Chains A and B, each alone.
Chain A
Amino acid sequence: MDARGAIEAMVEAPALVVRDVQKSYGGVVVLHPTSFSVTAGHITALAGENGAGKSTVLKIISGQVRPDQGEVCIFGETLSSSDPKSARGLGVAIVPQELAPYPDLTIYENIFVGREIRNRVGLLDRSAMARQARDMLDVFELDIDPRWRMNRLSVALVQIVEIAKATTWGARVLLLDEPTSAIPDHEVDRLYSVIRHLSEQGVAMVYTTHRLAEIQELADCVVVLRDGKVVLESDIADAGEQTIVRAMVGHDMDALFPDQTKPTGPVRLQVRDLQLDRSGPAVSLDVRQGEILGIGGLVGAGRTEVLEALFGIRRSRGGTIIVDGESVVRNNPASSIRAGFSFVPEDRKGAGLVLSRSVLDNGSLPHLRLFTRAGWIRTSARRSAVAKAMSSVNLKSRGLGQLVETLSGGNQQKVVLARWLTHSGRVLLLDEPTRGVDVGARGEIYSIIRDLAASGLSVVFVSSDMPELIGLSHRVLVARAGKIVGELDRAALDKEDAQERIFRLASGQTLSVFGSQAS
């Protein structure tokens, strides 16, 4: 083995070789014998749906998880013992999906924590650390002060700081686990340029993703995992989009967005002059029965705020909300729910689910009144209603008693959506409905939304995902700085330039020349 390794090292040793690595937990195989290699100076996308085994592979390479069989070689050297330290010693760094910075420490403290620079007396040499941090950030052309507190930074910048931290001690193989999952689109470019920059320096970059666009745009090579097996390993140039999708999903995905039926029902939701704060612009909009209204715009354009104000969890200063001709009490989620509103928040874990509780409890929370008599829970009524709602979204769980925290992201999102379906609502509000959801479940969620609209619900959703916004909506409003600056109907959305028009409106590059909704 050693001899073979040495020979490989002489013939342009790949930066990283994963050879027949295998892993199972308690009899469940999460990774079948898996082999692939990564070249220095290349960007490799490790693609696959949630649960395909991507994270396990990264954890094995970075020494956090010991494989049952097989080996990992870094520049010809075998990772002998599975611990993060020896992986680090061979030059492997990992930036995890869930970042854990110290929010109240400064940026340079975050970078140097654990290997602080000390002066002769043994006290911290803060100016030296700040200076070095400055140099690191300069490499990535970041205009931020290392003395800022970490909590001032956006998720994307935190990510870049983490990357900077990893590269300072000379990482040669950098693993990024879902680097873009929590980053708004307009900041992704910044991350991309950092990744490209490092790759030009000869670092082997491996990142996991389940977003197609990300593979095409960034990667040189792609390795696709499905059900714990490598199903595709190819140069990006040789693999077409169709090939990659088919490899990831196991079948074609042309039906991601089901066909449109034009909503002809009467106006169901009327919003007039909704005032979010004292001085800001007011929002007015109408949504028909069965209509899906998309709201596009940049992050920070005030879209989430509109949804939250409609649902009553954010205070609004004035204006009226009318559903089916009846005025709804503002600023109170309970009365919004009674008026037939449902809300799927952007932050699934933070605002959508009580992770420590079961599917049953989460599923019955919003419409608990329907399953109680004088405060007593009617057990069987609750159980059957929740079971019906959950099976209507095809939830994959071990039963209603399963804790929500043990479900996959896509299934969690289904719970957040389905818990509103125990009662026929009137208006469904969704904020980024498929963030962090894999391709397969995404398609399912789209058709659920479509079906709900077809059954007469008025749907309003906010999305930063362009294909989703264009594919799912009957009509799109574009928001900028808290104001609705443009509207595209289905005909406009079907045109080639729809995406560009939305982008221009959102970023304010052009005056609103088309029928904009006056506010």
Chain B
Amino acid sequence: MTGETKMDQPSGGASKPEGSKARFDGNQVLNLLLRNLMVLVVVSVAVYFSIVRPQFATLPNMATILIAAAPFALIALGQTLVILTGGIDLSVGSVVALSAMSSAALCVGHPERMWLAAGVGVLVGLTAGLVSGLVVAYVNVAPFVATLGMLSVASGLAYAIGNGAPINGLPTEWAQIASTKVLGLQAPVLVMIAGFLILAVVMTRTSFGMRIYAVGGNRTAAEVAGVNARWILTSVYAISGALAGMSGVILSSRVISAAPYLGKGYELNAIAAVVIGGASLKGGRGTIWGTLLGLLLIQTLNNGLDILVVPSYWQTVISGSLIVSAVAVDMLATKRTSQ
């Protein structure tokens, strides 16, 4: 009975395997659309903006969207792994600030230390994530609490580094990190694309990815099957921290300065992207592809509403409601296709 079945097709597939193929089933088309509803939503939002404001659909504007998306994307990727284990990382926003401040403090007045500083920025993020991860995995503190603590600690440290003030006057070389172009694409965009590709492959083709899903789906069962759940948990928080560190370096490079309030609230945007992408906050369900869609939806909305010159406070109202409606409709669609 075992064979090549890629996706499960709850109804129909079992009862009438052939025959239904001959006359094209309207139901199947509907189900296919419903299953890929979020793609549809993203596309329609983009089409709407392109019609209302032709300048939306231009290459320069697309590039703007991608560059704006990059720092968020890295955080959202890390958040995806954490959420897949059934956890949550609230600390990423302030880890962004801490990383940016650490690398800026190291680099200011020392252009030759630029790459060292960038490396330290990532390392600081990794360390913060590692600490959260160890506390979650080995001390069994709830992820919400552990990373809420880290949010506070990292934010405080970020302020302490600059004595409460932003660090300005970074060497101009620092801007290279975000502005270097390869193949016509800016470095952060390339990092983002690489991040998506690498993690998509990791989650589907490596034992590490499979174990993340297993631990998130059922930690006890994973442990019974010989998975070292603590190590998996620790590593996802460490990865999330390192990606937040990268994001901090990129953000500060873009403005050639670092501020202790950088990245404030980013964690919520990242969580939103992951959840819009269909991941379950209980863990075990979700994909990198989904997070990409969620991210695209948020970024497209932000950019499009900017172009429409919608006041920023109305922007938040609109994108908030749209996000919730999109997820609600997605839930109903999932329920329908898997009745």
Instruction: Verify if A357 is at the interface (C-beta below 8 Å from B).
Output: yes
- Given A27-B11, A399-B2, A399-B4, answer yes or no on A357-B205 (Cβ-Cβ < 8 Å): no
Instruction: Verify if B51 is at the interface (C-beta below 8 Å from A).
Output: no
Instruction: Return the contact of A390 from the options B2, B5, B6, B223 (Cβ within 8 A).
Output: B2
Instruction: Verify if B214 is at the interface (C-beta below 8 Å from A).
Output: yes
B8 touches A352 (CB 8 A): no
Q: Output the nearest chain A residue to B228 by Cβ-Cβ distance.
A: A334
Q: How far is the CA of A25 from the CA of B223 in the complex (A)?
A: 37
Residue from B1, B9, B11, B226 having most chain A Cβ neighbours under 10 A: B226
Q: How far is the CA of A368 from the CA of B226 in the complex (A)?
A: 9
- Given A372-B207, A375-B207, answer yes or no on A401-B221 (Cβ-Cβ < 8 Å): no
Residues 332-375 of A at the B interface (beta carbon under 8 Å): 333-334, 336-337, 343, 345, 350-357, 359, 361, 364-366, 368-369, 372, 375
Q: Output the nearest chain B residue to A397 by Cβ-Cβ distance.
A: B1
Instruction: Verify if A313 is at the interface (C-beta below 8 Å from B).
Output: yes
- Given A27-B11, A391-B2, A399-B2, answer yes or no on A354-B214 (Cβ-Cβ < 8 Å): yes
Q: How far is the CB of A356 from chain B (nearest CB, A)?
A: 4
A357 touches B214 (CB 8 A): yes
Instruction: Verify if A395 is at the interface (C-beta below 8 Å from B).
Output: yes
B6 touches A354 (CB 8 A): no
At the interface with chain A, which of B12-20, B69-77, B131-139?
Answer: B12-20
Instruction: Verify if B182 is at the interface (C-beta below 8 Å from A).
Output: no
A27 touches B12 (CB 8 A): yes
Instruction: Verify if A152 is at the interface (C-beta below 8 Å from B).
Output: no
Residues 451-500 of A at the B interface (beta carbon under 8 Å): none
Q: How far is the CA of A369 from the CA of B227 in the complex (A)?
A: 11
B8 touches A377 (CB 8 A): no
Instruction: Verify if B106 is at the interface (C-beta below 8 Å from A).
Output: no
A376 touches B220 (CB 8 A): no
- Interface mask (A412-444 → B, CB under 8 Å = 1, otherwise 0): 000000010000000000000000000000000
B2 touches A354 (CB 8 A): no
Q: How far is the CA of A368 from the CA of B211 in the complex (A)?
A: 9
A365: chain B residues at CB < 8 Å are: 210-211, 214, 222, 225-227
A391 touches B218 (CB 8 A): no
A377 touches B226 (CB 8 A): no
- Given A27-B11, A337-B226, A387-B2, answer yes or no on A355-B205 (Cβ-Cβ < 8 Å): no
A406 touches B8 (CB 8 A): yes
Q: How far is the CB of A56 from chain B (nearest CB, A)?
A: 15
Q: How far is the CB of B18 from chain A (nearest CB, A)?
A: 14
Instruction: Verify if A28 is at the interface (C-beta below 8 Å from B).
Output: yes
Instruction: Verify if B22 is at the interface (C-beta below 8 Å from A).
Output: no
A337: chain B residues at CB < 8 Å are: 225-226
Instruction: Return the contact of A352 from the options B224, B285, B339 (Cβ within 8 A).
Output: B224
Q: How far is the CA of A366 from the CA of B214 in the complex (A)?
A: 11
Instruction: Verify if A400 is at the interface (C-beta below 8 Å from B).
Output: yes
Instruction: Return the contact of A402 from the options B8, B12, B223, B280 (Cβ within 8 A).
Output: B8
A354 touches B224 (CB 8 A): no
A397 touches B221 (CB 8 A): no
B3 touches A376 (CB 8 A): no
B217 touches A357 (CB 8 A): yes
Residues 196-210 of B at the A interface (beta carbon under 8 Å): 205-208, 210
Q: How far is the CB of B237 from chain A (nearest CB, A)?
A: 19
Instruction: Verify if A403 is at the interface (C-beta below 8 Å from B).
Output: yes
Q: How far is the CB of A495 from chain B (nearest CB, A)?
A: 37
B205 touches A377 (CB 8 A): yes
Q: How far is the CA of A379 from the CA of B204 in the complex (A)?
A: 10
B210: chain A residues at CB < 8 Å are: 361, 364-365, 368, 377
Q: Output the nearest chain B residue to A375 by Cβ-Cβ distance.
A: B206
- Interface mask (B303-339 → A, CB under 8 Å = 1, otherwise 0): 0000000000000000000000000000000000001
Instruction: Return the contact of A406 from the options B10, B223, B224, B225 (Cβ within 8 A).
Output: B10
Q: How far is the CA of A401 from the CA of B227 in the complex (A)?
A: 21
Instruction: Verify if A26 is at the interface (C-beta below 8 Å from B).
Output: yes
Instruction: Verify if B213 is at the interface (C-beta below 8 Å from A).
Output: yes
Instruction: Verify if A396 is at the interface (C-beta below 8 Å from B).
Output: yes
- Interface mask (B249-293 → A, CB under 8 Å = 1, otherwise 0): 000000000000000000000000000000010001100000000
Instruction: Return the contact of A398 from the options B14, B208, B220, B225 (Cβ within 8 A).
Output: B14
Instruction: Return the contact of B285 from the options A28, A356, A368, A391 (Cβ within 8 A).
Output: A356
Interface of A is mostly: mixed
B217 touches A356 (CB 8 A): yes
Q: How far is the CA of A337 from the CA of B223 in the complex (A)?
A: 11
A400: chain B residues at CB < 8 Å are: 2-3, 5
Residue from B211, B220, B225, B227 having most chain A Cβ neighbours under 10 A: B225
Instruction: Return the contact of A353 from the options B208, B213, B221 (Cβ within 8 A).
Output: B221
- Interface mask (A101-140 → B, CB under 8 Å = 1, otherwise 0): 0000000000000000000000000000000000000000
A403: chain B residues at CB < 8 Å are: 8
Instruction: Verify if B183 is at the interface (C-beta below 8 Å from A).
Output: no
Instruction: Return the contact of A354 from the options B10, B228, B284, B339 (Cβ within 8 A).
Output: B284
Q: How far is the CA of A351 from the CA of B219 in the complex (A)?
A: 8
Instruction: Verify if B7 is at the interface (C-beta below 8 Å from A).
Output: yes
A333 touches B224 (CB 8 A): yes
Instruction: Return the contact of B226 from the options A333, A391, A397 (Cβ within 8 A).
Output: A333
Residues 1-52 of A at the B interface (beta carbon under 8 Å): 25-28
B208 touches A366 (CB 8 A): no
A375 touches B208 (CB 8 A): yes
Q: How far is the CA of A473 from the CA of B224 in the complex (A)?
A: 25
Q: How far is the CA of A376 from the CA of B206 in the complex (A)?
A: 4
A406: chain B residues at CB < 8 Å are: 8, 10
- Given A26-B12, A27-B11, A379-B205, answer yes or no on A351-B2 (Cβ-Cβ < 8 Å): no
Q: How far is the CB of A361 from chain B (nearest CB, A)?
A: 6
Q: How far is the CB of A158 from chain B (nearest CB, A)?
A: 22
B218 touches A353 (CB 8 A): yes
- Given A365-B214, A395-B2, A400-B2, answer yes or no on A26-B224 (Cβ-Cβ < 8 Å): no
Q: How far is the CB of A268 from chain B (nearest CB, A)?
A: 20
Q: Output the nearest chain A residue to B9 by Cβ-Cβ distance.
A: A398
Q: How far is the CA of A353 from the CA of B222 in the complex (A)?
A: 8
A28: chain B residues at CB < 8 Å are: 11, 14-15
Q: How far is the CA of A391 from the CA of B3 in the complex (A)?
A: 10
Q: How far is the CA of A353 from the CA of B218 in the complex (A)?
A: 7
A350 touches B226 (CB 8 A): no
A354: chain B residues at CB < 8 Å are: 213-214, 217-218, 221-222, 284
A356: chain B residues at CB < 8 Å are: 213, 217-218, 280, 284-285
Q: How far is the CB of B231 from chain A (nearest CB, A)?
A: 10
A345: chain B residues at CB < 8 Å are: 224
Q: How far is the CA of A356 from the CA of B1 in the complex (A)?
A: 21
Residue from A353, A356, A361, A369 having most chain B Cβ neighbours under 10 A: A356
Q: How far is the CB of B243 from chain A (nearest CB, A)?
A: 19
A355: chain B residues at CB < 8 Å are: 217-218
Q: Which 3 A-B pairs have the closest CB atoms?
A: A399-B5, A354-B217, A26-B11
Known A401-B6, A401-B7; 16 more pairs at CB < 8 Å: A25-B11, A27-B11, A28-B14, A350-B220, A351-B220, A351-B221, A354-B284, A355-B217, A365-B211, A368-B210, A375-B206, A375-B207, A377-B210, A379-B205, A398-B13, A419-B225
25 example contacts (A-B, Cβ-Cβ < 8 A) are as follows: A26-B12, A28-B14, A28-B15, A311-B224, A333-B224, A334-B228, A337-B225, A345-B224, A350-B218, A350-B221, A354-B214, A354-B218, A361-B210, A361-B214, A364-B210, A369-B207, A372-B206, A372-B207, A375-B208, A376-B205, A398-B1, A398-B13, A398-B14, A400-B5, A401-B6
